[in-house]
Amino acid sequence: MGLEGRFERPIHWSVQLTELEQRVAREIESRAHDLLEDLRLHVSIPTGGNNQQAIEETRERFGIRLQELGAKTHMVPGDAKPEWLQGDQHDYYTPPTVVSERLCGATENRVLIAGHLDTVHDPEGDFQDLSIAPDGKTAVGPGCVDMKGGLVIAVAALEALEACGVAANWTFTMNADEETGTYHSEQALIDEARKHDYGIALEPALPGGELAIERVGSGQFMIEVEGRSAHVGRAFTEGVSAVVRLAECIQASAQFPEPERGKILNIGPIKGGVATNAVPDSAFAWGNVRFADQAIADELAVQLDALQTAPDAMPRVRVHRSFNRPAKPQIPETERLALSARAVAEALGQTLPFAKTGGVCDGNVLQNAGLPTIDTLGVRGGGLHTKDEWIDLTSLVERCQLLAILIARLSAGGSAAL
C-alpha cells in the first residue's frame, strides 16, 4: 500500500461545509503524502537541547514557505532568562522569535498562530528519526506531536487556503523556548497577542483528542543556601552545612502541595557540596509549581518566601522565583472560540470534546495578555517528552483540515461557513 493509501478513509462531510470549504478539505487530503514527508524531515532535525543550528534550520525552512505566501517576516531578539535559571549553562543561545505576518490590511478578525520549534529531546541521543508502524497508522519520533506535527499541519493549512484562493488574516509566531519556560519570547508573544483577535497555539491534542479549554499556571523557583566550609575531620564543628539546611527547606516545602486544590510543588534537581570530607558551603534546589488560579499562586509565593532568612544569617537561605505563566481559566470568549472549532470539526465528520489539563503552554501567556486562545489544535498522539512519543498519522490530514477551515472562518468574521 502506498503512503497515500494509508490515509484513505470514507468522507462524511456535513452540508455545513460550503463548496469552497470542501475544496480546501480535498486539497489537504491530496497533500497527505507531503504532510508525512514534511513531518519525517522536521522530526529528523534535532531542535532539543537549545541546539542553535537545528533551531535555525527549522525556522528558516518554515519561514521561507510563509514568505512565499506573502508574509512579511521579522525577528524579535530574545530577552535574557533569569541568571539563576541558567544553572551551569554559560555559552547559552538566546533564540529570537520569528513573526511572519499576513494580515492583508485587516484591523479585525486577525488570527495569531503560535508554534514552538524546540523539543525536550537530546539532540545527540539515540532517539532521532520518525519510525512508522507497519500498519502505517502511527509513528514514533522525537517531537512528532510536541510540536513538529503541529507546525507541519499549520503551514500546510495556510498553503492550502492560498491554493484555493481563500483569503485569511494571520500572523504566525515561532519561538524556541516554550519547553524551558518562554522566558526569551514572552514579551514578543504578549506584544503580538495585543494586535490580534483570536489565538491558536499548536500544542498536541489531549490523549482522547480533546481540546483543552482550561489550564493551570506554572512557575519556576530556586532555593539557594550559603553555609560555612570546614574540614570534616579537623574542624567539623566550625562548619555550617548548606546541604543540611537545604534538606530542611525541601522537607518544609514538601508540606505545601494540595493537589486537590490545584496547588502543586515539585523539587528537582538539587546540587550541593564538592567532597564528602568537606562541610558544604553552598547548596541549591530547583523546582516547579502549578496553580489553578492566581490566589493559589500567591499562597505558594508566600510560603516559598517564608523559607528565606535574614541576609546576615548563617546558614543563609535565599529564594528566587518566577511565576511567569499565569493560569488559563475558561472564559466566555475562549469558550466561544472553542465552539467555533467544534463546529468545523463536526462539519468535517470529526469530534472535538473539551477538557482541562495540568499542562501549561504559550497559550497561557497569550490569553493572559487579553487574547482568547485555544491551544491544543495540533495533531493527536501521546508519550510526550519520552522516547515513546507517538503520533496518530490520520490526524495530519484531519487536524490540517480543521485548522485551515477554522482560520478561514475566523478571518471572515467567525461566520458558520464561508
DSSP of 240-261, one letter per residue?
B-HHHHHHHHHHHHTT--BGGG
Q: What is the pTM of this model?
A: 0.92
CA end-to-end distance (rounded Å), the chain: 36
What is the per-residue pLDDT across 366-418, written as a single tens digit (0 to 9) for each? Answer: 999 999 999 999 999 999 999 999 999 999 999 999 999 999 999 998 644 43
pLDDT value at residue 85: 87
Mean pLDDT of the region 3-31: 75
With 50 as the cut, is the pLDDT of residue 2 above it? no
Let me know if the fold of 3-215+328-411 is the same as that of 217-325. no
What are the helix and strand counts (H, E) for the chain? Answer: 12, 18
List, for residues 24-54, the tens digit of each pLDDT value.
999 999 999 999 999 999 999 999 999 999 9
pLDDT at 87: 64
Confidence bin at 7 (pLDDT 50/70/90): very low
User: What's residue 15's pLDDT?
Assistant: 59
What pLDDT was estimated at residue 14?
Answer: 59
| Segment 360-369, tens digit of pLDDT | 999 999 999 9
Q: How many CA atoms lie within 13 A of 284 on its CB side?
A: 12
- Whole-number pLDDT of residue 208: 87
208-235 per-position pLDDT tens digit = 899 999 999 999 999 999 999 999 999 9
Whole-number pLDDT of residue 166: 96
The pLDDT assigned to 417 comes to 41
Q: How far is CA 17 from the centre of its chain?
A: 31
**Average pLDDT over every residue of 244-255:** 98
Instruction: Give the pLDDT score at 402.
Output: 98
pLDDT at site 88: 62
State residue 6's pLDDT score: 44
Angstrom distance (rounded) from CA 129 to CA 149: 13
pLDDT digits (tens, 9 = 90+) for 76-119: 999 999 989 876 666 789 999 999 999 999 999 999 999 999 99
How are beta strands 354-357 and 138-140 bridged, if at all? unpaired
- β-pair type (170-175, 97-102): antiparallel
3-state secondary structure 77-107: CCCCCCHHHHCCCCCCCCCCEEEEEECCCCC
**Average pLDDT of every residue of the chain:** 94
The pLDDT, as a whole number, for residue 10 is: 43
What DSSP string describes 38-87? HHHHHHTS--BTT-HHHHHHHHHHHHHHHHHTT-EEEEEPPPPPPHHHHT
Percent of the chain residues past pLDDT 70, beyond the cut: 94
Domain ranges (residues) in the chain: 3-215+328-411, 217-325
Residue with the three cell numbers 484555493: 164
Report the CATH fold assignment for 3-215+328-411: Aminopeptidase (3.40.630)
Selected from 2.40.50.100, 3.40.50.10470, 3.40.50.720, 3.30.70.360, the CATH number assigned to the domain covering 217-325 reads 3.30.70.360
